[in-house]
Amino acid sequence: YKELQKKITKCAIWLQEQEIKPDDIISVCTHNQINAFVSCLAASYINAIFNPWDENMNL
């Protein structure tokens, strides 16, 4: 869990460096993997909104 927390914190800091602010929407299109969960928790950590996209969905 410690390694996961490090990844989440690093991602949250990076998001803030990209000027992501609370209530901004972060959309992610990726496979269902641990890194997608990291970005989800990092967004939550900075009070941003996480919007996952399914890459297999046809619009």
Domain annotation covers residue 36: yes
Query: What is the model's pLDDT at position 23?
Result: 97
Q: What is the pLDDT of residues 8-47, one digit of tens each?
A: 999 999 999 999 999 999 998 887 777 788 999 999 999 9
Q: Is the pLDDT of residue 59 over 80?
A: no
Query: What is the model's pLDDT at position 58?
Result: 62
Domain annotation covers residue 58: no
Domain annotation covers residue 14: yes
CB contact at 8 A, 16 and 9: no
As for how many domains the chain has, the answer is 1
